[in-house]
């Protein structure tokens, strides 16, 4: 089984990769289209050159690898994907061959977390529009993709992860609730910029508090993202 987990940034996505990676029976890959995305857009991101050197910049090569032999010949392959990487020119047909799952989070939380790392995020930076479009694409193929809210996982990791595994036909494992401190061997080269909190963790953080305040300058981004989030939220398990 190949599980493609689709989210925007700052959305519990790394913790989820660690959870699946700690099962022992599951290979993981971290944002395999990142280098292709940077090469195709010319965007300046932290560690841009290192990222470009660390992965294939050809999205077709990446897509072929996602359907190729599973690393270490493990029975399950968890693929952590960022929806904003799926720009025009990045293939999508390969998604027909995997189990697609969509990880959502309230836009106010995403914007506040992202802005602390990289100033003035745009709607395209945080991936809500692209996430909804990919979800609709999967449904147009006759798939019924699973949607899970990171807020619910934080509230009750054991119950929600078991529900997620059941929904995609994967045997649940208590090993998903914890992981070794200090990162994962398959972290992307960019991990030192973005993964500090998860590196210092050994499991999921506790329930989230009240929604953060979003600055006036970023309010238009929040307002634009909310309709996409609400549509996805209505589909969550």
pLDDT one-digit tens code per residue, 22-76: 999 999 999 999 999 999 999 999 999 999 999 999 999 999 999 999 999 999 9
Q: How far apart are CA 211 and CA 219, in angstroms?
A: 14
What is the pLDDT, as a whole number, of residue 117?
Answer: 72
Q: Calculate the average pLDDT of the chain.
A: 96
And the tokens for 234?
A: 């209505």
What is the pLDDT, as a whole number, of residue 204?
Answer: 97
The DSSP code sequence of 24-40 is SSEEEEE-TTHHHHHHH
Q: Average pLDDT, stretch 97-103?
A: 98
Q: What domains are defined for the chain?
A: 2-233 (3.40.50)
Token pair 């309010």 is found at 219
What is the pLDDT, as a whole number, of residue 44?
Answer: 92
pLDDT tens digits for range 159-168: 999 999 999 9
Contacts of 44 (CB under 8 A, 6+ apart): none
Please determine, for residue 236, whether its predicted confidence score (pLDDT) is greater than 90: yes
CA distances from 176 to 45, 72, 115 (A): 31, 19, 29
Categorize the per-residue pLDDT at 100 as very low, low, confident or very high, splitting at 50, 70 and 90.
Answer: very high
Instruction: Judge whether 38 and 51 are in contact, CB under 8 Å.
Output: yes
Strand order in the sheet with 2-7: 26-30, 76-82, 2-7, 99-104, 146-149
Instruction: Judge whether 25 and 77 are in contact, CB under 8 Å.
Output: no
What is the pLDDT, as a whole number, of residue 146?
Answer: 98
Lowest mean pLDDT of 45-54, 73-82, 105-114, name the range. Answer: 105-114
Categorize the per-residue pLDDT at 120 as very low, low, confident or very high, splitting at 50, 70 and 90.
Answer: confident
Please determine, for residue 148, whether its predicted confidence score (pLDDT) is greater than 80: yes
Contacts of 176 (CB under 8 A, 6+ apart): 19, 20, 22, 23, 157, 161
The DSSP code sequence of 69-124 is PPGGG-SEEEEEEEGGG--TTS--GGGGGSEEEEEE--HHHHHHHHHHHSSS--HH
């Amino acid at each position: 089984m190949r599980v493609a987990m689709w989210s925007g940034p700052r959305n519990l996505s790394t913790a989820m990769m660690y959870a699946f990676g700690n099962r022992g029976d599951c290979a993981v890959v971290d944002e395999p289209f990142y280098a292709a995305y940077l090469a195709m857009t010319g965007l300046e991101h932290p560690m841009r050159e290192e990222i470009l050197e660390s992965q294939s910049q050809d999205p077709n090569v990446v897509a072929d690898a996602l359907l190729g032999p599973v690393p270490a010949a493990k029975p399950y392959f968890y693929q952590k994907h960022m929806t904003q990487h799926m720009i025009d020119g990045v293939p999508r047909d390969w998604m027909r061959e995997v189990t697609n799952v969509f990880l959502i989070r309230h836009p106010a939380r995403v914007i506040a977390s992202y802005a602390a790392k990289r100033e003035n995020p745009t709607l395209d930076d945080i991936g809500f529009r692209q996430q909804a479009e990919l979800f609709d694409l999967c449904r147009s193929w006759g798939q019924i993709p699973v949607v899970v809210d990171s807020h619910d996982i934080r509230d009750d990791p054991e119950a929600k992860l078991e529900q997620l595994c059941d929904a995609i036909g994967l045997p649940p494992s208590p090993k998903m609730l914890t992981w070794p401190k200090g990162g994962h061997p398959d972290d992307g080269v960019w991990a030192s910029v973005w993964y500090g909190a998860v590196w210092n963790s050994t499991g999921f953080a506790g329930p989230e508090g009240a929604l953060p305040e979003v600055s006036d300058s970023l309010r238009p981004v929040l307002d634009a993202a909310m309709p996409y989030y609400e549509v996805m939220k209505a589909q969550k398990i």
